[in-house]
Amino acid sequence: MLARMAEIVYPPACPACARALAEPLGLCAACWRELTFLERPWCARLGIPFPVEMGEGVLSAEAIANPPPYDRARAAVAYEGAARVLVHKLKYGDRMDLAAVLARMMLRAGREILADADLLVPVPLHRGRLWRRRFNQAAALSAALSRASGVPADPLLLRRVKPTRTQVGLTRPQRASNLSGSLLVPKPLRPRVAGRRVVLVDDVLTTGATADACARALRRAGAARIDVLAFARVVPEA
């Protein structure tokens, strides 16, 4: 009854452009067409799409030149157009309801890595930034993914123990330097990670510096496998 009353007062609308919708938790046709879903063929390690079929298990030049400290990364869509708007509204617009919308797309993209995963771990925020933003978008996504997949989420396992500059506008080396020593799994919590297959959850993959730093912290804590699942990723130009 309460849900129905809410729909009358606040009719369903596209979260990206605010056009009216017949059903909640969806996108309008125009915004849906703006999404570039990332599909095979792709780099087996980074999930970056290839323009043509390259064969099973082929790695991209980036994965060969700079092997990441995690096993696989997957993202649902390219970080552009409506996807960028959705991420911005979730992250800065207090639209926590969008987590369920984005998680549905992530579930499809991450099917293979979620199939035998033991644990979902969101990329953490430092407590100062969390206080200012009021919630962690990666934790909201991991909670929604947990409900949809049945894989448990642990939002307090990985900690950001020192504040860092925003990563926006930094080069890859600058991002890595900015994050150095900022992430860890506290010693008392390491048994929760040891020998487990962990999926690191975030909203966007850009240079991969944050995912790299988180993966190294999880590896030091004894994780057996580390995969990364994001809603969107920056796709290098061909």
The three-class DSSP label of residue 194 is coil
Q: What is the pLDDT of residue 11?
A: 77
Burial of 53 (0-12, 13-18, 19+ CB in 10 A): exposed
**What is the average per-residue pLDDT within 130-134?**
64
90-99, 138-147, 225-234: segment of lowest average pLDDT = 90-99
The identity of residue 106, as a single letter, is M
Q: What is the pLDDT of residue 175?
A: 61
Which of the listed ranges 17-21, 117-121, 203-207 does the model predict with the highest average pLDDT?
A: 117-121
Q: What is the pLDDT of residue 226?
A: 98
Q: What is the pLDDT of residue 95?
A: 84
**What is the average per-residue pLDDT within 134-141?**
89
**pLDDT tens, residue by residue, 45-67:** 999 999 888 888 899 999 999 99
Confidence of residue 182 (pLDDT cuts 50, 70, 90): confident
Dihedral (C-alpha) 75, 76, 78, 83: value to the nearest 10 degrees?
-120
Residue range 39-233, CATH number: 3.40.50.2020
Confidence of residue 160 (pLDDT cuts 50, 70, 90): confident
Q: What percent of the chain has pLDDT over 70?
A: 83
Rounded to whole angstroms, the Cα distance separating 78 from 11 reads: 29
Dihedral (C-alpha) 101, 72, 143, 128: value to the nearest 10 degrees?
-100
Confidence of residue 128 (pLDDT cuts 50, 70, 90): low
- In the chain, where are the structural domains located? 1-34, 39-233
**pLDDT tens, residue by residue, 106-115:** 999 999 999 9
Q: What is the pLDDT of residue 6?
A: 39
Q: What is the pLDDT of residue 34?
A: 95
Q: In Å, how far are 64, 147, 222, 226 from 198, measured between CA atoms? A: 23, 16, 10, 5
Omega of the bond leading into 24 within 30 degrees of 0 (cis): no
Q: What is the pLDDT of residue 92?
A: 84
**pTM score:** 0.89
Could you write out the DSSP letters of every residue in 98-136?
A: HHHHHHHHHHHHTHHHHTT--EEEEPP--HHHHHHHSS-
Confidence of residue 23 (pLDDT cuts 50, 70, 90): confident
Confidence of residue 166 (pLDDT cuts 50, 70, 90): low
Q: What is the pLDDT of residue 25?
A: 74
**pLDDT tens, residue by residue, 26-47:** 899 999 999 999 999 999 999 9
